[in-house]
Structure 1
Amino acid sequence: MKWRGLVLTTIGLLGLLAGPANAAPATLVFTDRGPVKGAVSGEVRSFQGIPFAKPPVGALRWREPQPAARWRDPLNATKPREMCAQLPGDLPDESVNEDCLYLNVTAPKRVNRPLPVMVWFHGGGFVSGEPGYYDPVKLVTQGKVIVVTVAYRLGPLGYLATPGLTRETGNQSGSYGFQDQLAGLRWVQRNAAAFGGNPGNVTVFGESAGAESVCSMIVSPLAEGLFHKAIGQSYSCDAAMFTRAEAYDHGAEVSSKVGCRDVACLRGKPVKDLLTAWGPHGGPVIGGRELPLQPTDAIKQGKYNHVPVIWGNTLDEARMDIGSFFVGSGKPVTVEQYEQFTRADFGPLADQVLARYPVGNYASPSIAYATRLSDARNVLATCDHLNTYKLFKEAEVPVYAYQFTDRTAPVLFDWPNFEEGAAHSFELNYLFHRLFGNPLNPAQEALSKNMVGYWTTFAHTGNPNSSGTPEWKRFKTDADVQELGPTRVAPKNPAIESNCAFWAGLRR
């Protein structure tokens, strides 16, 4: 009978996967679309470049991802695929590749019981990045989890919105990259067990644009049941995402730059032309089936996926942007510019801000500007993150808040005469293997071990605490933010040093 054959096949696969302790690790795994052949390196098995959807090319450009074609012979899953189309950005390389809907699976060498699955979504402002850049060996080996890293369409191919594209499907256009991410999660539900994972215990996690993606999953009705825990690194979930009007305005601008008035013309344009016209703008669009409401509204109305969360940021978030845009270009912020930027941002309230952040209190005007931006009034800022923690707490979601504070962390860029500090993305080196910069020193390795322990214990249980790590309190007040530093892992109150009471009063 068909059902008996299916049961026997499943049992056989699980037996092949787990097997006795002295059996060879399984590098041939049968997915729902066909077999994949991976590789063993050290204590992990890796499977790279597994298609989870059809290539979104030709008529499928700006369409919801479609199921991948089936295959019969084992697919070589020992090498990564080419990254999604992007101009040089966080990564120095560029690509015009549209055939990029692939994912990677990293698992322990041997699995004797179903393990939690952690699904990673990379950052890059929705215009750059790729999943193969992240080696999750620490998470997999120390934490006994399976990690899946998912590619998604970027820039104009992932987030272009026009009225014509909306009319084609009757659904708000502009969230194709988010649709890809949901397709990746559905693939995990269908295939996690074949790799030794538990589809009933999935944690989504991401940094920067990846954290915004995780926030989108928390409030998306289409993500219900696809994950059970969430970790967001450096994005304030109470921020507003792009509205239909904003997305259409940008779509019209892009269409004009490439000389198009309709969808057919846009589909015929070379990828490079679209990338060049796009700029740094990007992200999911509110108003469709995927995201009917702004995140804050969805959470306040109870229309969200109730899962435990870890959420946090770094102490010096904005030093990355200030370093890139000013110091790295050879034009550090001047005293005059610092005042000019502040007056442009705050108008008649600028004198209060300048009095609270006097340029003379900092090593340079660049550091003064970065400190003000790191503290408040943007999606990376500390005070805005505290608003996110309170939003989750008021919604009665278990939330564990953190701030990464290692100002000696290995740097992504080493700009002269500028202390990068604990800048945006610098915590990633502590979760992923040698992502960038110099190796971690012994104190940083100890911090890395704690962080990996927190992240993976949370994936197992929904609570980051275990006997091997310092206690991490559930967030109830501003003083319940866990500091993650090389000499201190304990609660802190970032609202004090980031002047959050001042910023709250300035709103009035």
Structure 2
Amino acid sequence: MCAQPAGYPIGKPSTAEDCLNLNVTTPTGKHDELPVIVWVHGGSLMYGMGDLYRADRLAAGGAVVVSMNYRLGATSFLTHPSLPDSGGLALDDQRAALRWVRQNIAAFGGDPGKVTIMGQSGGGFAVCGHLASPASAGLFQRAIIQSAPCADASRTKAEALAESSEVIKKAGCADASDVASCLRDLPMAKLLEAYGTQREPRPYSGTPSLPLPVDQALRTGRFNRVPVLVGVNHDEENGMILGLELATGKPMAATDYRPAITEAYGKNAAAVLRRYPLGNSAGRTLATVKTDSTWSAPTLDTARALSRWTSTRMFEFAEQRTPWYAGTPKPSFPAAAQHMAELPYLFDLTLFEKLSLQQSTLANRLIATWTRFARTGDPNGGGEQPWPLLRDNGSQAGWHVQSLTSGTWKRADYAQDHHYRFWTTLNH
């Protein structure tokens, strides 16, 4: 794994710099010209490792699966005039893996002309970046984005420099005659300490490899136009709120709901409180608000932008009886389709409880669907209900979002369920 701090369950503390390796998982037996899924792990572009995601089950669905490590946090996103080409090395590492796949995957039974780049959360934001990057053109033929609204996939150079200036000062290198040499001479542990544990780094735009902000590239059609499957989980923020509950040892108090909304939404807090009155659980109500504002509405924005230029289908993973974290006390309200909830259905993840029989059946359906998309660019088939393209033609009727559960897959009442018009009006 690549260098990263402690403090996140999907990673491990590490100071390793010799870390750019990848894993290839193939179905049993001899195969040729299988679709290839290149997995970019999540972790806020701060944490994580490819090894965590055992891909035997996904590969058994009929694909060659490649996972990778890439530089994270400080080693990828520190930006300074003395550090040429810095500020987004994670995407460079991922491109190197994609080039390796193009050159070598046929030896593993994969088709270099049927490569799907797939990522979740931080990895999903990276996929957004590759869609917008001329440097990534031709390295993949399809894309799957899970839990990553593309509007948040890049930042400005000024933002990157401001954050990095703070880190460089904490590291004791701000007054060095050669800042780059000072940073390189630091023990990795000290650099990680200076960078901290709670950042959300992104590559900055205005470079040859990312000329436009990602959201602008998608809106204007200046991106790599491949078929895209983009989606979000119905209850994304449940995981974040329940994580705080586990950390503090108690559920969120009802008296904390209004202050939390005021802190998060400022001048719009009164409108948010009217739209989302406090329910039986303060934590669950706050999670619903933040899911809708931070994940659900922006993901539909992403799908609408993409659909104007390329084949786009959107999904919502909405299964309510999902595995909880293994060996962890049960929370005060169900995690449901929280952030990461779909991952134990696609990968063998010891982080979560083992799948039940019903959950395993859903896993097989998801894997078959993802594999069909990787093979053809169309997820339809396998006896599932039709999944139309999302079309942004001036009417909500075209905004088809497929609800994925253990029952029959069908169109979600997505815009109404997540108060889409409320948030788009509030945010503009």
**Shorter-chain-normalised TM-score: which range?**
over 0.9
2:64 paired residue number: 146
SS at match of 1:469: coil
Q: CA offset at residue 424 of structure 1?
A: 0.1
TM-score (norm 1): 0.78
Aligned partner letter, 2:182: C
Q: CA offset at residue 99 of structure 1?
A: 0.7
Q: Which runs of 5+ in 2 are unaligned?
A: 392-396
Alpha-carbon distance between aligned partners in 2 of 1:277 and 1:427, rounded to the nearest angstrom: 33
Aligned partner letter, 1:273: K
Q: CA offset at residue 245 of structure 1?
A: 0.7
- Cα pair 1:479 1:491 within 8 Å, conserved: no
Structure 2 CA distance for partners of 1:106 and 1:240, relative to 1, 3 Å: closer
Aligned partner letter, 2:424: A
SS at match of 2:128: helix
- Cα pair 2:27 2:60 within 8 Å, conserved: yes
Residue 241, structure 1, aligned to residue 241, structure 2: no
2:163 paired residue number: 250
- Cα pair 1:327 1:415 within 8 Å, conserved: no
Structure 2 CA distance for partners of 1:239 and 1:86, relative to 1, 3 Å: closer
- Cα pair 1:118 1:146 within 8 Å, conserved: yes
Aligned partner letter, 1:322: I
Alpha-carbon distance between aligned partners in 1 of 2:121 and 2:11, rounded to the nearest angstrom: 18
1:67 paired residue number: none
2:87 paired residue number: 174
1:503 paired residue number: 423
2:3 aligns with one of 85, 93, 109: 85
2:286 aligns with one of 365, 369, 394: 369
Aligned partner letter, 2:54: D
1:55 paired residue number: none
Alpha-carbon distance between aligned partners in 2 of 1:478 and 1:346, rounded to the nearest angstrom: 30
1:46 paired residue number: none
Alpha-carbon distance between aligned partners in 2 of 1:350 and 1:305, rounded to the nearest angstrom: 38
1:272-330 CA-to-partner distances (Å, cap 9, x unmatched) read 11111112222222222221111121123332101001010101101111122344322
TM-score (norm 2): 0.93
Structure 2 CA distance for partners of 1:288 and 1:92, relative to 1, 3 Å: closer
Structure 2 CA distance for partners of 1:331 and 1:255, relative to 1, 3 Å: farther
Aligned partner letter, 2:307: K
- Cα pair 1:444 1:486 within 8 Å, conserved: yes
2:190 paired residue number: 273
Residue 101, structure 1, aligned to residue 20, structure 2: yes
SS at match of 2:83: helix
SS at match of 2:269: helix
1:228-258 CA-to-partner distances (Å, cap 9, x unmatched) read 0000000001335221111111111111111
1:468-503 CA-to-partner distances (Å, cap 9, x unmatched) read 433222212465111111223211121111111222
SS at match of 1:108: coil
1:465 paired residue number: 380
Larger radius of gyration: 1
Alpha-carbon distance between aligned partners in 2 of 1:398 and 1:451, rounded to the nearest angstrom: 20
Q: How many residues were matched structurally?
A: 414
Q: CA offset at residue 435 of structure 1?
A: 4.3
- Cα pair 1:447 1:485 within 8 Å, conserved: yes
1:342-393 CA-to-partner distances (Å, cap 9, x unmatched) read 223333332221011111x2x31111111100011x2xx1111111110011
Residue 159, structure 1, aligned to residue 73, structure 2: no
2:103 paired residue number: 190
1:423 paired residue number: 338
Alpha-carbon distance between aligned partners in 1 of 2:13 and 2:152, rounded to the nearest angstrom: 30
2:216 paired residue number: 297
SS at match of 1:299: helix
1:444 paired residue number: 359
- Cα pair 2:35 2:114 within 8 Å, conserved: yes
Structure 2 CA distance for partners of 1:435 and 1:204, relative to 1, 3 Å: farther
- Cα pair 1:123 1:207 within 8 Å, conserved: yes
Aligned pairs for 1:208-223 (under 5 A) are 208-223=121-136
Alpha-carbon distance between aligned partners in 1 of 2:411 and 2:269, rounded to the nearest angstrom: 32
Alpha-carbon distance between aligned partners in 2 of 1:489 and 1:414, rounded to the nearest angstrom: 31
1:109-155 CA-to-partner distances (Å, cap 9, x unmatched) read 2234211111000000111110011111122112x110110110111
1:433-456 CA-to-partner distances (Å, cap 9, x unmatched) read 244322222222221111111100
Aligned partner letter, 1:138: R
Residue 392, structure 1, aligned to residue 311, structure 2: no
- Cα pair 1:135 1:435 within 8 Å, conserved: no
Aligned partner letter, 1:301: T
Alpha-carbon distance between aligned partners in 2 of 1:507 and 1:180, rounded to the nearest angstrom: 34
Residue 310, structure 1, aligned to residue 221, structure 2: no
- Cα pair 2:88 2:204 within 8 Å, conserved: yes
Alpha-carbon distance between aligned partners in 2 of 1:276 and 1:323, rounded to the nearest angstrom: 26
Residue 120, structure 1, aligned to residue 39, structure 2: yes
Structure 2 CA distance for partners of 1:390 and 1:226, relative to 1, 3 Å: same
SS at match of 2:96: helix
- Cα pair 1:90 1:124 within 8 Å, conserved: no
- Cα pair 1:207 1:232 within 8 Å, conserved: yes
- Cα pair 1:208 1:235 within 8 Å, conserved: yes
Aligned partner letter, 1:275: L
Q: CA offset at residue 187 of structure 1?
A: 0.6
Residue 203, structure 1, aligned to residue 116, structure 2: yes
2:297 aligns with one of 377, 383, 386: 383
Residue 490, structure 1, aligned to residue 404, structure 2: no
Alpha-carbon distance between aligned partners in 1 of 2:288 and 2:125, rounded to the nearest angstrom: 22
Alpha-carbon distance between aligned partners in 1 of 2:78 and 2:273, rounded to the nearest angstrom: 39
Identity across the alignment (%): 36
Q: Which runs of 5+ in 1 are unaligned?
A: 1-82
Alpha-carbon distance between aligned partners in 2 of 1:478 and 1:180, rounded to the nearest angstrom: 37
Shifted more, 244-253 versus 437-446: the winner is 437-446
Considering Cα pairs closer than 8 Å and 6+ residues apart, tell me whether 1 or 2 has the greater RCO: 2
Alpha-carbon distance between aligned partners in 1 of 2:319 and 2:246, rounded to the nearest angstrom: 21
2:394 paired residue number: none
1:71 paired residue number: none
- Cα pair 2:76 2:89 within 8 Å, conserved: yes
Alpha-carbon distance between aligned partners in 1 of 2:57 and 2:125, rounded to the nearest angstrom: 24
